[in-house]
Amino acid sequence: MKLPIFLDNHSTTPMDPRVLETMLPYFVEKFGNAASRNHAFGWAAEEAVENARKQIAKLIKADPKEIVFTSGATESDNLAIKGVVEMYKEKGDHIITSSTEHRAVLDTVKVLEGKGKATATYLPVDKFGMVSPEDVRKAITEKTILISIMLANNEIGTINPVKEIGKIAKEKGILFHCDATQGVGKIPVDVQDMGIDLMSFSAHKMYGPKGVGALYVRKKNPRVRITAQMDGGGHERGMRSGTLPVPLIVGFGKACELCEQEMAKDTTRLVAMRDRLEASIMKNLEESYLNGHPANRLPGNLNISFAYVEGESLLMGMKDIALSSGSACTSATLEPSYVLRALGVGTDLAHSSIRFGLGRFNTDDEIDYTITKVIEIVTKLREMSPLYEMAKEGVDLKSVQWAAH
Amino acid sequence: MAYSDKVVDHFTNPRNMGSFKKDEEGVGTGMVGAPECGDVMKLQIKVQNDTIVDAKFKTFGCGSAIASSSLATEWLKGKTVEEAQKIKNTDIVQELNLPPVKIHCSVLAEDAIKAALADYQKKADGAQTDAK
């Protein structure tokens, strides 16, 4: 076993060596521009891109023509939301989204609101982090042009009832955008069955390269139109100009193919390791609380709050394991996780959360090591915690008058 | 963010971690911060003949908060009550090489020192009044 261990697979994933292999010829040897229609270099590049488009479309049960390449999921989210708001402004300006969406969705919607281009409803989630389809239905107004709800949450892994939401959207004739960045390649996604009109996802979350993503744009029933956010050569059916990064796209395609072939195997392994990690932690560390849905969540996700200890210190104590925390000290905004807050997790427990993100290349040995380390560091930090001491003495921490700072 | 070697050292080998009994003679306790803010420090001093003979801490917080309070206990030991009043958060920032986002940890440590000293003073004054 090699240290450090990577258990932060929601942030990114290591590239599968098989993906790299397929990419290599497209850097030096087959370097052509896929938009060059008049020579063999261009044809080779175009062929590679179209092959990848097929592999990607197959994974999500779409038509290859419905795949628009972007630089990643953030761009896809921006393109989908801004593109729809601009294209359909005659129809209305209301967007329905949820409070636990990724910042790429939330900030995009907020910017549109700020500019007076859109109004928005931010739906709450239940204590497991799930959006209620009924809430979506109730939030619809005559002005609603877009529903944007994520497939699976990046912090807590909770999977939303996307199919039900898609059904409501269809029924009401409203476009449905789904940020599926964490879900594609990990759980079955079928844009037909789920009634999705626009869907963002990214290669580097599924063992592909960084710097490439896609926006699925439905072609029929209904034919979705979006206003391009970048002007130029009119690539990608006019929706996203810019020379295609052929090696990245080839890698993206291969990554999708591998995910499709190995999803069942990966899921079985990940769930077994994740459940073992969870059970061992819960058995050995009292007052550890699972964040997110107990069953309906991504196979590799485990998010736990360890009462009385602060998240960043936990990470520091496990410096040979790469993890992430919802603690304010680890965020750029110095606020604890807004996702955990939206679930109703107290600020104190939000500061105490750790996200374990398991992926294809993690091993049983690594999980064993992690279990030992987590128990060791939580125990050590609790010994050091005045809150733990007070709780052990029977002090109700909620009744204490703290001097907030 | 990379931590300074000194922060790592104090975090890995905290000095004077633990508690005195609050009602023990000569003990002053300072508790500052709030769980909602992600850090709570408890700092205790034991004073004999106006000199701090021992100090202990317990901290809920990030590595820098733990290091700041650990360092504070080291510095407090052997100082007179008056000298202890002069410990400034900027001294802690300098010693631990804290980045700007972690300056509040040093402020909290200074507050904890002040609170422990005030608690000791209050108890000492109370004892004097009782004696009269």
Residue A374 has pLDDT above 70, yes or no: yes
Helices (H) and strands (E) in chain B, counts: 5, 3
Say how far apart CA A184 and CA A203 lie, in whole Å.
9
Among A306, A395, A405, which would you mutate to test the B interface (most chain B Cβ atoms within 10 Å of its Cβ)? A405
CA distance B112 to B94: 18
Distance CA A115, CA A108 (A): 11
Q: How far is B93 from chain A (nearest CA, A)?
A: 17
List CB contacts of B56: < 8 A, sequence separation 6 or more.
B16, B17, B18, B19, B20, B43, B44, B73
Catalytic residue among A178, A256, A259, A329: A329
Nearest Cα residue in chain B from A384: B58
Quote the distance between the C-alpha of residue A325 and its chain's center. 16
Per-residue pLDDT tens digits for A65-76: 999 999 999 999
Q: What percent of chain B has pLDDT over 90?
A: 86
pLDDT at B132 over 70: no
CA–CA gap between residue A47 and residue A329 (Å, rounded): 48
Q: Is B38's CB within 8 Å of A386's CB?
A: no
CB contact under 8 A, B38 and A313: no
**CB within 8 Å: A313 and B63:** yes
Share of chain A above pLDDT 90, in %: 94
Strand partners, B17: B57
Beta bridge partners of A175: A146
Residue A271 pLDDT level (bands cut at 50, 70, 90): very high
Say if residue A28 is exposed, middle or buried (CB neighbours under 10 Å; 0-12, 13-18, 19+): exposed
B130: pLDDT confidence band, cut at 50, 70 and 90?
A: low
Give A 277-336 residues with CB within 8 A of chain B.
Answer: 308-310, 312-313, 316-317, 327-329, 334, 336
Q: What mean pLDDT comes out for the span A359-374?
A: 98
Nearest to B84 by CA among B57, B128, B58, B46: B46
- Catalytic center residues of B: 37, 105
Pair A326, A336: CB distance under 8 Å: yes
Does the distance separating the beta carbons of B19 and A389 come in below 8 Å?
A: yes
pLDDT digits (tens, 9 = 90+) for B108-117: 999 999 999 9
Give per-residue burial for A195-210: e unless 16+ CB within 10 Å, then b. Answer: bbbbbbbbbbbbbbbb
At B39 the three-state DSSP class reads strand
User: A285: pLDDT confidence band, cut at 50, 70 and 90?
Assistant: very high
Q: How far is A252 from A404, CA to CA, in rounded Å?
A: 48
Shortest CA gap A160–chain B (Å):
29
Across the interface, whether the CB atoms of A348 and B65 are under 8 A apart is answered no
Tell me, what DSSP letter sits at residue A229? S
| Model pTM above 0.90 | yes
Q: Does A260 touch chain B (CB under 8 A)?
A: no
Distance CA B29, CA B20 (A): 9
pLDDT of residue A230: 94
Pairing of strands A144-148, A175-179: parallel
In chain B, residues with a C-beta closer than 8 Å to the C-beta of A385 are: 40, 58-60
Q: How far apart are CA A34 and CA A15, in angstroms?
A: 24
Cβ pair B33:A402 closer than 8 A: yes
Write the DSSP assignment of A368-382 as a string of letters.
HHHHHHHHHHHHHHH
- Does B60 sit within 8 Å of A385, measured CB to CB? yes
Which segments of A138-225 are extended strands (E)?
Answer: 144-148, 175-179, 198-202, 213-217
Q: Is the pLDDT of residue A388 over 70?
A: yes
What count of other Cβ atoms lies within 10 Å of the Cβ of residue A244?
20
| pLDDT score of B22 | 87
pLDDT for the residue numbered B2: 78
Q: Residue A93's pLDDT is what?
A: 98
What are A22-60's pLDDT values in tens digits? 999 999 999 999 999 999 999 999 999 999 999 999 999
Residue A405 confidence (pLDDT): 60
Nearest to A310 among B14, B17, B38 (CB): B38
Residue A405 touches chain B, beta carbons under 8 Å: yes
Spacing of C-alpha A300 from chain mean position: 12
Longest dimension (CA), chain A: 80
Please state, in angstroms and rounded to a whole number, the distance separating the CA atoms of residues A324 and B117: 38
Structure tokens given for A167: 């059904």
Q: Mean pLDDT lowest for which of A63-72, A114-123, A291-300, A393-402?
A: A393-402
Active site residue A329: yes
| β-pair partners for A354 | A304, A325
The pLDDT value recorded for residue A403 is: 73
Euclidean distance between CA atoms B112 and B90, whole angstroms: 14
DSSP 8-state assignment for residue A276: H
Tokens of A227: 């206003």
DSSP class of A158: B
- B37–A386 C-beta distance less than 8 A: no
| Min distance B8 CA to chain A CA atoms (Å) | 8
d(Cα A208, Cα A14) in Å, to the nearest integer?
A: 8
Amino acid A261: pLDDT: 98
Residues forming beta bridges with residue A216, ordered by sequence position: A67, A199
Least confident span in A200-209, A367-376, B50-59, B97-106: B97-106
Q: What pLDDT digit, counting tens, does each position of A288-337 carry?
A: 999 999 999 999 999 999 999 999 999 999 999 999 998 877 666 668 99
In angstroms, rounded to a whole number, what is the distance separating the alpha carbons of residues A347 and A354?
14
Which residues, listed in sequence order, are joined to residue B29 by a DSSP beta bridge?
Answer: B44
Q: What is the pLDDT of residues A240-264, one digit of tens each?
A: 999 999 999 999 999 999 999 999 9
Cα gap A205→A298, rounded to integer Å: 13
Tell me how crowded residue B31 is: count the other CB atoms within 10 A of its CB: 21
Q: Report chain A's mean pLDDT, rounded to a whole number.
A: 96
* Contact residues, chain B, for A351 at CB < 8 Å: 35-36, 38
**Phi then psi dihedrals of residue B5, to 5 deg:** -55, -35
Cβ distance of B36 and A348 shorter than 8 Å: yes
Chain B neighbors of A348, CB-CB under 8 A: 35-36
